[in-house]
Amino acid sequence: MGMTISEKILASHSGRERVEPGEIVNAKVDFVMVHEMLGNAAHL
């Protein structure tokens, strides 16, 4: 079965051919979005 768009992005940015649900991957992040109410607590 093919990968979802999220799996394709994670595979591409982690240097792997494929990823599967439940795996832990290290990926290079281009952009991060944080909800303004949770952002302050997350960076502490």
Tens-digit pLDDT profile for residues 8-28: 999 999 999 999 999 999 999
Percent of the chain with pLDDT over 90: 59
pTM: 0.66
Q: Residues 11, 19: contact at Cβ < 8 Å?
A: yes
pLDDT at 43 over 80: no
Tell me what pLDDT residue 25 has: 94
Give domain limits for the chain.
Answer: 5-42
| Mean pLDDT of the chain, nearest integer | 84
Q: Which residue shows structure tokens 């949770």?
A: 38
Burial classification of residue 19, based on how many CB atoms lie within 10 Å of its CB (0-12 exposed, 13-18 middle, 19 or more buried): buried
Whether the pLDDT of residue 40 is over 80: the answer is no
Give the span between the Cα atoms of 23 and 19, in whole angstroms.
7
Residues with Cβ within 8 Å of 27's Cβ and at least 6 positions away in sequence, in order, are: 10, 13, 14
Q: Indicate the helix (H) or strand (E) that contains 5.
A: helix 5-14
